[in-house]
Structure 1
């Protein structure tokens, strides 16, 4: 099984027959990054980890059938959006009905016609692209251009669940713009909006991985989701944000520092066991409160279940 590459749209072919797979792989390899599973169980595990956009799924598989595999994919919040195109040996109405009832997005009959299957799979990729674009627009904060609270509420729970399954590290930052009410009083709300846009752009700079994200949590608060990042890595990112704010030197006469600063609360673990997003947010918020009590323009750190430490 190949490792996933982001350069091409990702198509997973679930086919236990080697010759059938090679035929399909030849049809799609020029346009898509193609990977393969040979059983329904492998498909479920693979989709939970890698999230291909489209699955080309044989109905007849050893063990878990293609129909039951599709039902499990569609029943999970983490894989329900993946498009499933069945490949079936039967073309009768009953078989087609079973494909639809299982949650399939489309189907083709064997022996496959290369042009037909390519058009049908292409249509699913196009639909997925359009759906993702609409979803992205719904999840973007109109002012700052980062993700909004709706995205945070949706994604944090899912990413924590994924991290727990893989027993991987995970960290969360809550970032608050210091003395922002005084900034608005001094410069006006339009200038305050411009300030938030600049701060959002600066926060994004140290986040180099696709899995990292920034969401606007409240008026002048932002949350960073950092999968596969322990407290040491999260602290380095937070320190970079503090440094970037200093280098940007956004004038703030009402601040003791003379420029716009941020306070940051961090929480994280080396292996996720707690998946309740409210607990994560509250713990990071406590760390943020500690940072503010230390005089702001600094970092507070709190590790879930391991006591509290504040810098």
Structure 2
């Protein structure tokens, strides 16, 4: 990816004809990061990996048609939200109907009118921005600014499915703020809210990849989803989180330790076979239970689905 254009809106053009592609690329290259695929299969693979916001999709592709390509994109949870604008050589009701039935968001006819296609693409980008903002409002915890339980319930299942398809590692981390009820009783709920906001900020710092996420699970509990992370990597992240919290030294006079600490439970696997989110949550929660009953301010792990935790 061209780093100079990496922050521009991401547009994928799926066109096997060189001249047609160059015409479209010239129209959009000043305002967008433009990528190209020449077949439906390449388009699907590209979208799964890079997630363009809008796809300009030629209907008449060789092999897998543009219509069938769009159907596959819309059938996958990973790519269903990508806006697809068909570029078609035919301007008749039957082909337009087929575009809509395939799940297309819009279509334009060849030869393309530069102003028309620009407006159509701009409209889809604006629509996606508005949708993302609404999704953010629905999926973000109002107090801490991290994701909420609704996001966790939706995304954990999706990310586990992706990990299973790619036969990759996966880890789940549950964190609980130790003696938080005593903190609220001693300092008051406003200070308790400030404490949770600070903890949420600290949890996010070691999570450097876009695929990692933090959700507020409930009360003073947080869950970290860590795709492509094994047990060793998850323990390292947990240790970094605890170190950051210790360095911040949030006073907690009602705690026997004297400052805010956390208990952390982890479950992980080298290769995902189990995709039931409940199994993963229960395993991490089992590890958290052991951490809390082992004096707190520590990290424990659990083998996935085996119902017992280890050091």
TM-score normalised per structure 2: 0.94
| Match of residue 188 from structure 2 | 188
Structure 1 residues 7 and 236: CA distance shift in structure 2, 3 A? same
The separation in 2 between residues aligned to 1:112 and 1:193, in whole angstroms, is 55
CA RMSD of aligned residues (A): 1.9
User: How far did residue 6 of structure 1 move?
Assistant: 4.8
Structure 1 unpaired stretches of 5+: none
1:128 deviates by 0.6
The correspondence of residues 115-194 of structure 1 with structure 2, limited to 5 A, is 115-194=115-194
- 2 CA distance for matches of 1:199 and 1:284? 19
In the aligned structure 2, how far is the partner of 1:99 from the partner of 1:297? 57
Distance in 2 (CA, whole Å) between partners of 1:268 and 1:289 is 16
Q: CA separation of 1:158/1:254 partners in 2, compared to 1, >3 Å: closer, same or farther?
A: same
Give the Å deviation of 1:217. 0.2
2:286–2:308: 8 Å Cα contact kept in structure 1? no
Tell me, in whole angstroms, the C-alpha distance in 2 between the residues paired with 1:253 and 1:183.
8
Query: CA, structure 1 residues 284+131, in 2 after alignment: closer, same or farther (shift >3 Å)?
Result: same
Is the Cα–Cα contact under 8 Å of residues 287 and 310 in structure 1 kept in the other structure?
A: yes
Decide whether aligned partners of structure 1 residues 50 and 165 sit closer, same or farther in structure 2, where only a CA change above 3 A counts.
farther
- Whole-angstrom CA distance in 2 between matches of 1:128 and 1:29: 20
State the match for 2:22 in structure 1.
22
Which string of whole-angstrom CA distances, capped at 9 and with x for unpartnered residues, describes residues 87-123 of structure 1? 0000112211221122111111001122221221111
Q: Which residue of 1 aligns with 2:249?
A: 249
Q: Equivalents in 2 of 1:266, 1:201: separation in Å?
A: 20
1:260 and 1:146 map into 2 onto residues whose CA distance is 19
Give the distance between the partners of 2:197 and 2:266, measured in 1 at CA: 22
| Distance in structure 1 (CA, Å) of the matches to 2:44 and 2:6 | 20
1:16–1:38 CA contact under 8 A, matched in 2? yes
Q: CA deviation at 1:3?
A: 8.5
Deviations 1:195-220 (A, max 9, x none): 11111111111112222111000111
SS at match of 1:217: strand
1:66 corresponds in structure 2 to 66
TM-score (norm 1): 0.94
| Separation in 2, partners of 1:276, 1:11 | 34
Can you give the 5+ residue segments of structure 2 that lack an aligned partner in the other structure?
none
Partner residue, 1:298 = 298
State the alpha-carbon separation in 1 of the partners of residues 124 and 22 from structure 2: 21
Alpha-carbon separation, structure 2, partners of 1:200 and 1:278: 23
Deviations 1:133-152 (A, max 9, x none): 11111111011111100111
